[in-house]
Amino acid sequence: MFYYLALAAALFAIGLFGVLTRRNVIGILMSLELMFNAANINFVAFNKYIATDALVGQMFAIFIVVVAAAEAVVGLAIVLLIYRNWRGIGMDNVNVMKW
């Protein structure tokens, strides 16, 4: 089980690196998907090895997948809108909400 948790931690770190360093919105969204998957691996691994009497971990992971899909849909619609308004999706251009 330790190996699964270590794999999830490494995948989460990779996703965090992507979120912190990417310049465009689509790259950040893809890195977010990696982080969601790292969390899901943790849930399923704990379900397999620690709490086997119910499938609660897998249920939680399924709901995470659904919510991540909804998030991706809305996020990509916003990306299209940004592209249409600014002619580019670099995060550096999008600073109208900066105070």
Partner 1 sequence: MQVLEPGIVFWILAVVILVSGFLVVTLRNMFHCALCLILCLFAVAGIYVLLEAEFLAAAQVLIYVGAVAILIVFTVMLTTDLASESLIQHNENATIAFVVCALFAIGVPYLITKTGVWMPAKGELISDNVGSIGKYLMTDFMLPFEVVSVLLLAALIGAIVLARKERS
Residues near partner 1 (CB under 8 A): 1-7, 9-18, 20-24, 26-27, 29-31, 33-34, 37, 40-41, 44-45, 47-56, 58-59, 61-63, 65-74, 76-81, 83, 88-89, 91-92
Measured from the CB atom, is 70 or 96 closer to partner 1?
70
Query: Least distance in Å: CB of 99 to partner 1?
Result: 20
For residues 80-99, one letter each, b for 16 or more C-beta atoms within 10 angstroms of the residue's C-beta and e for the rest, the string is: eebeeeeeebeeeeeeeeee
Measured from the CB atom, is 27 or 97 closer to partner 1?
27
Tokens of 97: 């909400």
Alpha-carbon separation of residue 33 from 2, 52, 86 (angstroms): 22, 27, 25
The amino acid occupying position 63 is: F
Query: Least distance in Å: CB of 19 to partner 1?
Result: 9
